[in-house]
Structure 1
Amino acid sequence: MMRATSVFFVLLLVANAAYASSSIYGSEFDYKKAKPASTYFSGKNRQHVASFCKKEMLGTMDLSACAQFRYELAIEALNKRIQVVEKILEADDKDNGTYGEPAALPFFRKAQANWELYRDNNCYSDVYSVGQASLRFIDFWDCMTRITKQRLDELTNPSQDD
C-alpha cells in the first residue's frame, strides 16, 4: 500500500509540473491570444472597472487584468487616431498624386507595422528577462501601455519637439 501511495504521489507531482509548465507563467506568452479584460470583469462597465483598478491591495490576477484593461484602452485610442491619420494621408496622397508625387500612406502603414514589432519585442524582452514571476505580466501590460501611449502622443502632436 505504501508503494502504491508513493507511485501515485510521484505521478501527481509529474502531472502538476507538466500543468505548471503550460501555464502563462511557465511558457511563451502571446498577448494577441489573451482573452479581453472584459472577460475577467464580466458584467462591469468601463467606469466600474476603472474605479476597481484604482483600489489598493489588489491580488495578482486583479492587477494583471487591470494592467491589460489599461492597455486595451490605450490601443483603442491609438487605433482611432491611426484611422484619422490614414484618412488625412489618403487625401494628401490623392492631391499630391496629381503632381506625380509618391504616396505617403503605404510608408506610414509600414512604419506602423514596424513600430508594433518594436513595441512587442521590447515588452517581450522586458518580461522574459525577469524569468518566471507572478508580476511579470503586469509589467508586460504596463510596458505595452506606456509605449502605445507614447505612439499616440507622437501621432496626436507630431510637430512638438522635446
Structure 2
Amino acid sequence: MMRAISVFMLLCLTAQTVYASTSIYGSAFDYKKAQSTSAYFTGKSPAEIALYCKGEYLGTMDISACSQFRYEGAIKTLNKKVAEIEKITRNYDREHRANGEPEALPFFEKAQANWQLYRDNYCYSEVYQVGQASLHFVYFWDCMTRMTKNRLDELTKPDTDE
C-alpha cells in the first residue's frame, strides 16, 4: 500500500511539473494577437492609465499591461511619423518620376518592413533567452518600446551624430 501511494505521489509530481512547463510564460507568443490595453484598462483615459502605471506596488498583470500600454503609445507615434515621411516622399517621387529618376518610397517601405521584422525577431530572441518568468511579457513589451523609440529617433533626427 505504501508503495502504491509513493508511485501515485511521484505521478502527481511529474504531472504537476509537466503542467507548469506549459504555462503561458513558456509558450510561444504572438504580440499581433494581443488584446489592446484599452480592454484591460476599460473606461480609463490614456492620461489616467499613464498616471496609474507610474504607481508603485503594481501586480505582475498590471506591470505587463502598463508595458504594453507604453509600447502602444510608441508605435502610434512611430506610425504617424512614418505616414508623414511616406507622404513627403511620395511628393518627391512625383518629381523624380517626371525626370526619369528612381523613386525612393519603395525603398523606404522595404526598409521599414525589414526594420519591423528585425525589431520583432530581436525582441522575441531577447525575451525567450530569459526563459520562463513571471515578467516574461514585460521584458518583451519593454524591448518593443525601446526599439520603436530608437527607430523614431532615427527618423526624426537622421543627421544627429552620437
Match of 2:128 in 1: 128
Indicate the SS of the match to 1:27.
coil
> Matched residues in 2 for 1:116 and 1:42: separation?
29
5+ residue gaps, structure 2: none
Pairwise CA distance, 1:22: 5.2
> Matched residues in 2 for 1:74 and 1:129: separation?
24
RMSD: 2.3
Q: Percent identity?
A: 60
Match of 1:145 in 2: 145
Taking structure 1 as the reference length, what is the TM-score of the superposition? Answer: 0.88
> Matched residues in 2 for 1:23 and 1:38: separation?
25
Correspondence 1:10-159 to 2 at 5 A: 14=15, 17-18=18-19, 20=20, 23-159=23-159
The one-letter code of the counterpart of 1:91 is N
> Matched residues in 2 for 1:105 and 1:23: separation?
43
Moved over 4 A (4+): 13-18, 20-23
Pairwise CA distance, 1:159: 2.1
> Matched residues in 2 for 1:24 and 1:32: separation?
16
The one-letter code of the counterpart of 2:142 is D
> Matched residues in 2 for 1:96 and 1:107: separation?
14
> Matched residues in 2 for 1:117 and 1:83: separation?
18
What is the number of equivalent residue pairs in this alignment? 159
The one-letter code of the counterpart of 1:101 is E
The one-letter code of the counterpart of 2:81 is R
5+ residue gaps, structure 1: none
Pairwise CA distance, 1:24: 2.7
Indicate the SS of the match to 2:56.
coil
Pairwise CA distance, 1:55: 0.3
Match of 2:161 in 1: 161
Taking structure 2 as the reference length, what is the TM-score of the superposition? Answer: 0.88
